[in-house]
Structure 1
Amino acid sequence: MAEQVPSTSPSEPQGPSAASASAPSTASNTDQQAQPSDPPLPKLSPSDFRTYNRMADHMQHFHSHFLSTYTTLLSACQVGKRPQGMSLRQFLSLASTFVSQLTMHHNIEEQHIFPLLATRMPAFKKELSLVGQHRQIHEGLDKLEAYLDECRSGERELRLGEVGALLEGFGDVLMRHLEEEVEQLGAERMRRYWSLEEMRRLPM
């Protein structure tokens, strides 16, 4: 299942511009950075919670798909046998699709979503954890993609143990990233940086 580019593009007029996000009318970026000592906020209504949690829910949909595919691939490698009924060609295709979809997903985030969120939210700045995790994940994805290319060309015989080692090489950071990214986009964190109206316009 190929990932679809978010239907609300940052270039469309519905979304807030980076300029407006970086210069909110009521407070500076520094003032809006949530601190550990921030007091608890009033309980959200179910409707407001859904609005504030919209990006987390959307992201979780993609992450569940990536986790399922990664688990299928790694489990096959650990038992040394492809899933029942899956040919070698299909296994290679599944692994290659995993690499390409995850790469596209991260490219969309870094080009269209993270820069806007980073105007107020430190976790999405280029030098900090989430983007840094992307870099670590893609070091492993690049190695896996190169291996798969050699198998498809006939230069190398596919060995599940070797594929498993490549998957495990970035598995820990991938699992951490899938969890932390959704957590950063959750309602209780997003409400500290964005108004309800802004949440409705943020691209995802």
Structure 2
Amino acid sequence: MPSFAENEQHLESHKKIHDGLEELGKIIRKVYDDQSTYSPSELRACMDGFREPLMRHLDEEVNDLRAENMRKYWTKEEVRAIPI
């Protein structure tokens, strides 16, 4: 499926999303260790930083993973063999 090929839209989106989640994890670990460091504005800024790529990606992926689209690229047997 072209949208999942290396350097294509889904992989690029995953990178941005994972980077945002890594940053969110750092903030959560910091607050877990010292609750006095909690800053709602810092948390909000972090989450806002990857909101757009996440929401766009989820919308695109729902479209790409529709049955009628997947049939263009894989057989039922190939889909069933995907380890999920």
TM-score range, shorter chain: 0.7 to 0.9
Question: How many correspondences in the alignment?
Answer: 84
Larger Rg: 1
C-alpha root-mean-square deviation of aligned residues, in Å?
1.8
Give 4+ residue runs of structure 1 displaced > 2 Å after superposition: 195-204
Comparing both chains, which one has the higher relative contact order based on Cα–Cα distances under 8 Å and sequence gaps of 6 or more? Answer: 1
TM-score, length-scaled by structure 1: 0.38
Mark the CA change 1:132 to 1:156 in structure 2 (over 3 Å): closer, same or farther.
farther
The structure that is helix-richer by fraction is 2
Percent identity (aligned): 38
Q: Is the 8 A contact 1:150 1:156 kept in 2?
A: no
- In 1, the alpha carbon distance for the partners of 2:80 and 2:27 equals 42
Task: Return closer, same or farther for 1:187/1:165 CA change in 2, 3 Å cut-off.
Answer: same
Partner letter of residue 62 of structure 2? V
> With structure 2 as the length reference, what TM-score do the two structures score?
0.83
Q: Unaligned 5+ residue runs, structure 2?
A: none
Residues 1:125 and 1:162: Cα distance change in structure 2 (over 3 Å): same
What is the CA–CA distance in structure 1 between the aligned matches of 2:12 and 2:48, rounded to whole Å?
Answer: 18
Deviation by residue 1:134-178 (Cα, 9 ceiling, x = unmatched): 111122112211111111121852121221111011000001111
Unmatched 5+ stretches in structure 1: 1-120
Supply the distance in 2 between the matched residues of 1:133 and 1:199 (Cα, whole angstroms): 22
Q: How does 1:94-173 map to 2 (within 5 A)?
A: 121-154=1-34, 156-173=36-53
Which residue does the alignment assign to 1:203? 83
Partner residue, 1:16: none
* Kept after mapping to 2: 8 A contact 1:125/1:131: yes
Which residue identity lines up with residue 158 of structure 1 in the other structure?
Y
Give the corresponding residue for 2:64: 184
1:203, 1:162 → 2: CA distance? 37
